Amino acid sequence: MRKYLAIPVAALALAFAASPATAFVDKDCSDFSSWQQAQHYYKKHGGPRHDPSRLDADHDGIACEDLR
């Protein structure tokens, strides 16, 4: 009986691990073609309180200032 339970549990765990909701893609300023794109991404992903991609080097709320 345990063998039959282990397979669905393993499949479910794999599905959660591979889901896009849990995936994080680290971005760099070079990934954006404009400052507006970088700023939009930065704000959408938590900036300025949370900056997982480190797009705001000086923590002033403006991402990728070199693109301005």
pLDDT tens for each residue of 1-40:
566 666 666 666 665 555 555 567 889 999 999 999 999 9
Does 48 sit behind a cis peptide bond, omega within 30 degrees of 0 on the bond before it?
yes
Q: Which residues contact 38 (CB under 8 A, 6 or more apart)?
A: 29, 32, 55, 63, 64, 67
Q: Give 53-64 pLDDT, tens digit per residue.
A: 999 999 999 999
pTM for this model (two decimals) = 0.64
